[in-house]
């Protein structure tokens, strides 16, 4: 089992290419989710819904998130509506959740917490 990372360690880490064996197993996912309140495993991906004030704030959040994760070269699935955004992270190259997804989930929380939306 991989060592668990704190939220601070996830924020400091960088997304990087993962080998085929880079997929986290269910026990690793459950343990690492403890560092990311609000996130859940759903249909093979890390998922969280973010509530925003209105459409303008929702798009501002999406654009701020796009800026951050572009630098990580790891991109989420987004479902955007008037005052909500669902963010889903999974690593297609490993066929499931990898450490990259936890890193980017923590960075997603940071974007939301900065009031970028």
- Position 20 pLDDT exceeds 50: yes
Q: Is the pTM of this model over 0.75?
A: yes
Instruction: Identify the CA nearest to 14 among candidates 87, 70, 88, 94.
Output: 70
| CATH number at 20-113 | 3.30.1360.20
Q: Is the pLDDT of residue 115 over 90?
A: no
Answer for the pair 62, 85: CB distance below 8 angstroms, yes or no: yes
Asked if residue 89 has pLDDT above 90, the reply is yes
SS3 29: helix
Does position 66 have pLDDT exceeding 90, yes or no?
yes
| Mean pLDDT in residue range 50-72 | 96
pLDDT at 1: 60
**What's the whole-number mean pLDDT along residues 76-91?**
97
Residue 117: the pLDDT is 35
pLDDT of residue 22: 86
């Amino acid at each position: 089992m991989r060592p668990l990372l704190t939220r601070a360690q996830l924020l400091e880490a960088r997304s990087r290419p993962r080998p085929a064996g880079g997929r986290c197993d269910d026990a690793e996912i459950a343990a690492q989710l403890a560092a990311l309140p609000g996130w859940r495993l759903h249909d093979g991906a890390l998922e969280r819904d973010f509530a925003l004030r209105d459409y303008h704030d929702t798009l501002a959040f999406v654009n701020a998130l796009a800026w951050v994760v572009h630098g990580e070269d790891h991109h989420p699935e987004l479902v955007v509506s008037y005052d909500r955004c669902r963010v889903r992270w999974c690593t297609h190259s490993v066929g499931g959740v990898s450490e990259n997804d936890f890193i980017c989930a923590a960075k997603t929380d940071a974007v939301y917490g900065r009031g970028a939306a």
